[in-house]
Amino acid sequence: MKKFFNTTGPCNPNKHYMLPAQERCQGLTDFIDNGQYFVIHAARQTGKTTMLLDLVKQLNASGNYYGLYCSLESIQGLDEAEKGIAAINHKLQFCVEFSELLSRFPFAKDADYTQPSILLTKTTNSSQGIPFMPK
């Protein structure tokens, strides 16, 4: 199959023309190693999702972190905090369950949905294991 420029979703280096992941992820692991946050902001169809998927692969391959890509795009229409936070928690739980690397973590198994203001904090920092932190 001949390579082409992809404008419809995540790129595959075997099918699509694209920049190497190392160039696009350069410096991000420094932020992660230092426990810092970062924001990926760019126009549509510029490779944000592909870059994040590559970063997750790179982090997992390093053996130092458990990385997970979880898109919240499907719940963007929820405008009530109670429903939105619960939906985020369910989406994260779904992504963890279907991750080969993270499926052994019982993320949010006994989540208490009656307190949405602390739901995400309690489920990601519980004694069940923290799947989004360094190993």
Mean pLDDT by 10 residues, the chain (135 residues): 86 84 78 89 84 89 90 91 89 89 82 80 60 51
pLDDT at 122: 74
**Cβ atoms 60, 66 nearer than 8 A:** yes
pLDDT at 87: 92
Burial degree of 99 (CB within 10 A; 0-12, 13-18, 19+): buried
DSSP 75: G
Q: Where are the domains of the chain?
A: 1-65, 73-124
pLDDT at 129: 46
**DSSP code per residue over 79-129:** -SHHHHHHHHHHHHHHHHHT-TTTTTS-TTTT--TT-TTTHHHHHHSSTT-
Burial degree of 133 (CB within 10 A; 0-12, 13-18, 19+): exposed
Integer Cα distance of 98 and 103 in angstroms: 6
Q: What is the pTM of this model?
A: 0.74
pLDDT at 15: 92
